C-alpha cells in the first residue's frame, strides 16, 4: 500500500523552476532517503509531499486520498495529526521548556493537559532525556535538541515522518546517533519516513534512495548527483 505518492509535480518560485515533472511513491512503513545537491528541489519536494506547499500542477496523494486539492485548513489539520516533522535545526520554540515543546502539538490537538505532559515525560524517558523537561531549549546540546525534536514529532503518533536534513547541524558522531534513534523509533512505531539529506551516511539508514536533480526524481543512487 502506498502511503505517499506524487505524480508529475511542477512547482516554481517566480520564474525559477524547483520541480519539473517530479514523481515519487513511498510505500507504507518504508524509510525513503531523498538525495541531491543544494538547489536540486529535494526540500521543495518534501514540502509538497507534506502539504506545506501546493504544486503548480500534478497530484499528491496521502493514503490514497488527494492532498493537493485539500483546503489549507484541512492540510494544516493533517500536519497536526498525521504528519511529524524533524528539521535541521530542530525548530523548537525557545521560549518554552523541553516538556512544553513536546506537549505543544498534543495540546493543539486538544489532548487534555495532564495526558499531554504525561506523554511528553514518557518520551523524555524513552530518549534518555529524563530530568531535562524544565530546561529551556537553548540550554541543550545539538544532539539533545534534535532528540527533543524527534520526541515532539513522534509524540502525536504520526503515520508519516518528514525529516529535512535532520543531522545537518550536528557532528558526525552525534548525527549517527540521532539517525539511529530516529530510524529505530520509526521502525518500532511503524512510521513511514521521508528523509531529505545530502549525506550518504545518513541515507545508509534508509530502505531506498532516490535522487532529485534539476527538479526531477531519479531512482537509484548516483554519487555525483549528491554533490
**pLDDT by residue (tens digit) across 148-181?**
998 899 999 999 999 998 888 788 888 888 888 8
The gap from C-alpha 58 to its chain's centroid, in whole angstroms, comes to 22
**For the chain, what is the mean pLDDT?**
90
pLDDT digits (tens, 9 = 90+) for 40-90: 999 999 999 999 999 999 999 999 999 999 999 999 999 889 999 998 766
What's phi and psi for 17, nearest 5 deg? -75, 135
Show me where the domains of the chain are located: 1-80+193-222
The second-level CATH assignment, the architecture, of 1-80+193-222 is: 3-Layer(aba) Sandwich (3.40)
pLDDT of 91 higher than 90: no
pLDDT of 227 higher than 70: no
**Nearest residue to 182 via CA among 198, 206, 210, 215:** 206
103 Cβ contact list (under 8 Å, min separation 6) = 113, 116, 117, 119, 120, 155
**pTM of the predicted model as reported, rounded to 2 decimal places:** 0.90
**Nearest residue to 175 via CA among 201, 194, 140, 139:** 201
Amino acid at each position: 500500500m502506498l502511503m505517499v505518492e506524487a505524480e508529475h509535480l511542477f512547482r516554481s518560485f517566480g520564474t525559477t523552476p524547483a520541480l519539473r515533472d517530479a514523481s515519487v511513491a513511498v510505500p507504507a512503513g518504508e524509510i525513503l532517503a531523498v538525495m541531491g545537491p543544494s538547489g536540486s528541489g529535494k526540500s521543495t519536494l518534501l514540502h509538497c509531499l507534506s502539504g506545506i506547499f501546493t504544486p503548480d500542477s500534478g497530484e499528491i496523494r496521502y493514503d490514497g486520498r488527494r492532498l493537493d486539492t485539500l483546503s489549507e485548513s484541512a492540510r494544516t489539520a493533517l500536519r497536526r495529526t498525521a504528519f511529524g516533522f524533524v528539521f535541521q535545526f530542530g525548530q523548537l520554540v525557545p521560549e518554552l521548556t523541553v516538556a512544553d515543546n513536546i506537549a505543544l502539538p498534543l495540546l493543539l490537538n486538544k489532548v487534555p493537559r495532564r495526558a499531554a505532559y504525561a506523554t511528553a515525560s514518557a518520551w523524555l524517558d524513552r530518549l534518555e532525556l529524563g530530568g531535562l523537561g524544565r530546561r529551556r531549549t537553548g540550554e541543550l546540546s545539538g544532539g539533545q535538541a534534535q532528540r527533543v525534536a524527534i520526541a515532539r514529532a513522534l509524540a502525536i503518533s504520526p503515520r508519516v515522518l518528514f525529516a529535512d536534513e535532520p543531522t545537518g547541524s550536528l557532528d558526525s558522531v552525534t548525527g549517527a546517533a540521532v539517525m539511529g534513534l530516529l530510524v529505530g523509533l520509526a521502525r518500532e512505531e511503524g512510521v513511514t519516513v521521508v528523509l531529505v539529506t545530502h549525506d550518504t551516511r545518513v541515507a545508509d539508514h534508509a530502505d531506498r534512495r532516490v535522487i532529485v536533480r534539476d527538479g526531477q526524481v531519479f531512482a537509484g543512487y548516483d554519487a555525483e548527483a549528491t554533490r
